[in-house]
Structure 1
């Protein structure tokens, strides 16, 4: 298991993908021929996105340490981004990495922390597991390793944020107040968790704060001269099942979504399962989150009935406050076999 310093919760994947999809469309168009083979690491070549319809993208910040790999590791940043071209709205829903969830695609049935899905079964399992948790379609995914945040913030000339508290991590301190952060400082600001009284939820808010600051920099015409550095910063960091043409098309057609971006969180409750700490999303919370995302995608609400709601119904004495013991009926201890390959 990686140490806490090697398990950063990144907003980098959200930053990069939103930049590519929304904020820097004309930059990509200008540099497409030069950078297609340099920054794009997806497998599809032809466009497949219908930019007239709502889409969902699972954004994963992958725990791969400092070695630059993005093919394995826990997805310690989990965001569902929904883009609706009819309403010109983009909604970013952060999901805690420790959320109890079924690992969809393994037999026998197994539940783990949601961030394990990518490590167990790659992007297919991550998409399937998040989709089943909330009863939502996940159209595409994108992952980014920890090096991406530092590079993208530096590429836009740094970001200005107002910190609600003192943040110290990796021998760097960001004091409470307003600061202009370079890439290394921004990485520190979004990695710290244990000093924040809100824990992982506070870190998610700081992730979204930096994301919006980067998008604001992209709206500044002075940033346009940095498009070469901006695109080069993606090299070796981004992996997605969107084609490069898809990225260009989304960027060109969905630029207006940067003017209406909403950030939200799925809030769980603490629990102990055997000797591990989890977050349990109540059935009410799961249902309301599902309803909101489905509405953003132009879908009607449906009653949730999945492994998580069934386990919640069985744990009648668990309340997330005075009783933190949660029983999975042994489903979290099953030795799985990966049948997704």
Structure 2
């Protein structure tokens, strides 16, 4: 009896040590990954009177940049999505900005497509341009290399989305309804424009669907068993000014926010050519209305 009890104790200690080792390995690799992806920018927004703190559960905003990076070229931000998070309301709002939107480019004294702001001045110019366009502060950014985007989704074992329209692009067919996507399929699905009668607006809907699906999948505890692949994919393809402690805090206290995501979008369809290039002309009243919603969600005076 004593031997059996001793064996059980040793077995329990062994399991505990393995568990501790597993958790420590995750933490070490997570810390290494966050060191690799952490790329701070100057946070001196004129739109903020006081500093915000994730730990204190202050509402904050994030600019998601999907960048089409090319050899020997800084690339352009193929995707620009503003996310606001209000932990007290346990809610999140997401607004896609059409990449062809005609705006004042911060620091250049000229107007151009909003996605060119990244090409002209990297993340900082893109952040400042979006801040001025929507009249809200941008507290954080997350930049994803779109070509590596598929690696992140594959590391999550794919994502599931509700497709609202049957679409075909080359050899890829996406039926209407619930569909499961691999990384490559998700990349194609998120980039379709000409085959969708809604053009860039339909593309924005699909991009937000995939991001929401990724957030939900990443929050699933079973995803931890793939942490090696996930950390490698993130380290190779993501840059952000979130610190390690802020991301830990988000995972710990903001998990309920992802269950209440409101999708905002530009309803206007005005556009036209200036010279040889087509631009989207955002309606001033619509921009103000969207800005008002985002400010309220951030707890700012609208």
TM-score in terms of structure 2 length: 0.81
Query: Of 62, 68, 80, which residue of structure 1 is paired with 2:67?
Result: 62
Higher helix proportion, which one?
A: 2
Query: Of 76, 79, 83, which residue of structure 1 is paired with 2:78?
Result: 76
Shift of 1:220: 4.0
**RMSD, aligned CA:** 2.5
Q: Distance in 2 between matches of 1:220 and 1:38?
A: 19
Contact 1:29–1:248 (Cα < 8 Å) also in 2: no
1:163-215 deviation per Cα after TM superposition (whole angstroms, max 9, x unaligned): 23333335333233432221111111111110001001101111122222233
Task: Tell me: CA distance 1:220–1:250, structure 2 relative to 1, closer, same or farther (3 Å).
Answer: closer
Q: Which structure ranks higher in relative contact order (CA pairs < 8 Å, sequence separation ≥ 6)?
A: 1
In the other structure, the counterpart of 1:43 is 39
Q: Distance in 2 between matches of 1:44 and 1:180?
A: 35
Q: Distance in 2 between matches of 1:76 and 1:285?
A: 22
Q: Distance in 2 between matches of 1:140 and 1:35?
A: 19
Contact 2:37–2:234 (Cα < 8 Å) also in 1: no
1:285 partnered with 2:286:
yes
**Gap runs ≥5 in structure 1:** 1-26, 302-341
In the other structure, the counterpart of 1:9 is none
Shift of 1:56: 0.8
SS of the residue 1:72 aligns to: strand
Contact 1:270–1:279 (Cα < 8 Å) also in 2: yes
Shift of 1:73: 1.4
Q: Distance in 2 between matches of 1:235 and 1:114?
A: 27
Shift of 1:132: 0.5
- Structure-to-structure mapping, 1:239-254, within 5 angstroms: 239-254=239-254
Contact 2:169–2:195 (Cα < 8 Å) also in 1: no
In the other structure, the counterpart of 1:34 is 29
Task: Tell me: CA distance 1:49–1:32, structure 2 relative to 1, closer, same or farther (3 Å).
Answer: farther
1:288-307 deviation per Cα after TM superposition (whole angstroms, max 9, x unaligned): 01101100100111xxxxxx
In our comparison, the structure showing a higher alpha carbon Rg is 2
How many pairs were matched up?
Answer: 268
SS of the residue 1:234 aligns to: helix
SS of the residue 2:74 aligns to: coil
